[in-house]
Amino acid sequence: MIRTEKLVKSYGSGELELVVLKGLNFEIKTGEFVAIIGPSGSGKSTLLYQLSLLDEPTSGEVILDEVRTGELSLQEKTDIRLAKLGYVFQDYALLPELTALENVALPIIMQGLTTPEAYLKASLALERIGMVDKKHNLPSQLSGGQQQRVSIARAIAHEPQILFADEPTANLDSANGLRVMEAFRDLHEKSDQTIIMVTHEPEYAAFAGRIITLVDGTIVSDERKKPLK
């Protein structure tokens, strides 16, 4: 479970201060698939960075499994990210010198597994998203959609509690975007994976069971609905 308390994020100071998140309070329960939507500049990506411990709020707090993350050191946050969180970035963010398998195995090796064990787990993750046949390809040898699916495999291979996705379909055409969203849906349905996804595309937000709408750093709606099948 993850929740926020009066979460504020601002940039600059004085007259130039820009408040991006304005005291947000909400909670996401384990197993939820949440889409955060809103127009450009509404603060949705900024919110994701706070929730995923990649950034520090100006005030307020993110509480993850009853742990107040504002009190954690950088190293402790890194350890939590490795153990409990998974990330899918907008531009795939695969390491170019590593094959698909190695990219997926890297965080698993960092968790202390041997390389063969990590490769086995990585292969399973790639299989889950239908990319196992491309596991020896370098990112440059994969299409955008394929790269994003490898990125999803990397994010789920170490079995994180929460999977964060920042505009995962933004750089993909509609066919590939749809395949990525289907992958998220399968993960959620088959593994009860908690997913928090930022998107500006309503048709992809419809895959989620809960949609939080942000406008100017404020939650203007928080709807639970039946996800798209």
Partner 1 sequence: MLLSLRVGFFLALRQLRRSGKGTTTLIIFVMILTFLNLVVVSGLLVGLISGSFKQFREAYSGEVLVTSADGRDYIENSPALISFLESHPKVEAISPRYSVGVQLLGTLTDLPGKNERANRIGISLTGIDPAREEVVTGFSRFLKYGEHLNEGEEGYILIGANMIKKYSSFADANIPGLTLLEDVDIGSRVRVSFSRAGGGVVSKEFIIKGIVKSKVDEISTRAFITDKELKKLLPVNKEQVQSIAIRTDYEYAPTLVAETKDFMEGHAARIQTTDEAIPSFLRDIEQTFSILGNALSSVALIVASITVFIVIFINAVTKRKFIGIMKGIGISPQAIQFSYIFQALFYGVIGSLIGVILTFGILKPYFDVHPIDFPFSDGILVATAEGAAIRIAILLTVTLIAGYIPAKLIVRKNTLDSILGR
DSSP letter for each residue of the chain: -EEEEEEEEEES-GGG-EEEEEEEEEEE-TT-EEEEE-STTSSHHHHHHHHTTSS--SEEEEEETTEEGGGS-HHHHHHHHHHHEEEE-TT----TTS-HHHHHHHHHHHTT--HHHHHHHHHHHHHHTT-GGGTT--GGGS-HHHHHHHHHHHHHHT--SEEEEESTTTTS-HHHHHHHHHHHHHHHHHH--EEEEE-S-HHHHTTSSEEEEEETTEEEEEEE-PPP-
49 binds partner 1 (CB under 8 A): yes
18 binds partner 1 (CB under 8 A): no
96 binds partner 1 (CB under 8 A): yes
200 binds partner 1 (CB under 8 A): no
155 binds partner 1 (CB under 8 A): yes
Q: Using CB under 8 A, which of the segments 96-104, 119-127, 178-186, 205-213 binds partner 1?
A: 96-104
Among 25, 30, 59, 115, binds partner 1 (CB under 8 A): 115
Query: How many residues contact partner 1, by CB under 8 A?
Result: 28
119 binds partner 1 (CB under 8 A): no
Among 3, 22, 81, 185, binds partner 1 (CB under 8 A): 81
Contact 178, 1 (CB under 8 A): no
Q: Using CB under 8 A, which of the segments 29-37, 88-96, 128-136, 216-224 binds partner 1?
A: 88-96
Q: Using CB under 8 A, which of the segments 84-92, 171-179, 180-188, 193-201 binds partner 1?
A: 84-92
Among 8, 109, 206, 215, binds partner 1 (CB under 8 A): 109
- How many angstroms separate the Cα of 169 from the Cα of each of 39, 92, 160, 176, 212? 16, 10, 21, 8, 18
CB of 172 to partner 1, least distance (A): 18
CB of 200 to partner 1, least distance (A): 17
Residues that bind partner 1 (CB under 8 A): 49, 54-55, 75, 78-79, 81-83, 85-87, 89, 93, 95-98, 102, 106-107, 109-110, 112, 115, 138, 154-155
